[in-house]
Amino acid sequence: MNAPRTAAVLCIGEVLWDVFPDHRCLGGAPFNVACHLRALGVETAIVSRVGSDPEGSEILDLAEAHGLPRDLLQVDDALPTGRVTVTLGAQGVPSYRIEAPAAWDAIEASAAARSAASRASAIVYGTLAQRRPRSRGTLRELLRSSALKVLDVNLRPPHDDRACAEMTLYRSDMVKLNDAEMDRLCDWFEIAGRGAARIAALARRFGLSAVCVTRGDRGASLWRHGRLVEHDGFAVTVEDTVGSGDAFLAALLARLLAGEEPEVALAWANATGAFVAARRGATPELDLGAIGAMVRESLAGPMGAGTHAG
């Protein structure tokens, strides 16, 4: 008998509804990353939990429509499906009110979840889904896998616990975070320096093989195995930035797992994040032709990626 198929990438954490003033859309950083990975052709699944309510049933149907298997999406009979109220500020930058408790606070380390984690080549997770002990314990158990462990830092007050972040950093191989989160971690853990030196110091402190720091429309830096690559980003007219960082991570990981050079992977990540920021919602349909054209133009021109040791 053949071994059961499993995800090349397993995402673990929150799935929920992002509720805007005039509409709602499916969200949660791990779910967004999973959707974009599938759109990029990567076999992907997500371990999460929804309520046994109409909003949860709708998520199960939509996950299947995105090509994500339903069997790792658990259903909770007591807790409701997660919701986040989103308010857009200047330049489409969102602020969030995250409802609690929610079903994704009670994710279980089921036999199916443990099997998927043991077979995955990479696992993506964040800090937000660890705000409650049950899901936090589940993640710790699933991270016993030998997969590449990819942390998407997501410090959302009041769910921005230093001890949780520290524990998770030590268990990770690769970390993606924005510049404000980088400042916060360096303040917490007394990491000095600037630019490449500071990123390298964070990597040394926690034994990381890769650190990616995003700067919105100013691009991103990727430190990997002692080498720093930078990209200046893309100028787009922003609709909203919800999910753009998740699209960035999905493209970066997809390209690195495919063996692309860091410069190319970072260009794809920036282009994909910019494409999503220029459209409404966290998981718009990706136009890979248009994104690819952005990448080719940026790598050919003076704006493209730069590199130096760090």
For residue 120, give the amino acid letter.
A
CA distance 162 to 117: 26
Confidence label for 5 from pLDDT (cuts 50, 70 and 90):
very low
Query: By the 8 A CB rule, do 121 and 147 touch?
Result: yes
Confidence label for 143 from pLDDT (cuts 50, 70 and 90):
very high
Answer with the residue of higher pLDDT: 139 or 7: 139
Confidence label for 91 from pLDDT (cuts 50, 70 and 90):
low
Q: Is the per-residue pLDDT at 90 higher than 90?
A: no
Instruction: Compute the Cα dihedral for 169, 213, 124, 93 and give only its sign.
Output: positive
What is the mean pLDDT of the segment spanning 65-89? 93
The domain segmentation of the chain, as residue ranges, is 9-309
CA distance 262 to 247: 17
CB neighbour list of residue 192: distance below 8 Å, 6 or more residues apart: 186, 198, 201
Answer with the residue of higher pLDDT: 301 or 88: 88
> What would the two tokens of residue 145 be?
């896998």
Distances (CA, A) of 304 to 56, 250, 261, 294: 43, 20, 13, 11
Q: Is the per-residue pLDDT at 208 higher than 50?
A: yes
Ranked by mean pLDDT, the top range of 87-96, 223-232, 276-285 is: 223-232
E-assigned strand segments in the chain? 9-12, 16-19, 24-27, 44-51, 73-76, 82-88, 94-98, 122-126, 148-152, 174-178, 210-214, 220-224, 227-231, 306-309
Give the CA-trace dihedral at 22, 241, 46, 209, to 10 degrees. -170
* pLDDT for res 293: 96
CA distance 215 to 237: 16
CA distance 155 to 285: 27
In tens, the pLDDT along 259-302 reads 999 999 999 999 999 999 999 888 999 999 999 999 999 998 65
SS3 content of the chain, % helix, strand, coil (to 5): 45, 25, 35
Q: Is the per-residue pLDDT at 307 higher than 60?
A: no
DSSP per-residue string spanning 40-74: TT--EEEEEEEESSHHHHHHHHHHHHTT--GGGEE
CA distance 261 to 184: 29
CA distance 238 to 92: 6
In tens, the pLDDT along 96-125 reads 889 999 999 999 999 999 999 999 999 999
* pLDDT for res 305: 52
Q: Residue 172 has what DSSP assignment?
A: -
In tens, the pLDDT along 29-48 reads 999 999 999 999 999 999 99
Answer with the residue of higher pLDDT: 230 or 303: 230
Answer with the residue of higher pLDDT: 239 or 120: 120
Q: Which CATH class is domain 9-309?
A: alpha beta
Q: How many CA atoms does the CB half-sphere of 21 hold within 13 Å?
A: 6
CA distance 82 to 102: 5
Q: Is the per-residue pLDDT at 304 higher than 90?
A: no
What is the mean pLDDT of the segment spanning 234-246? 91
CA distance 310 to 299: 21
Tell me the percentage of the chain whose pLDDT exceeds 90.
81
Average predicted confidence (pLDDT) for the chain = 92
CA distance 255 to 264: 8
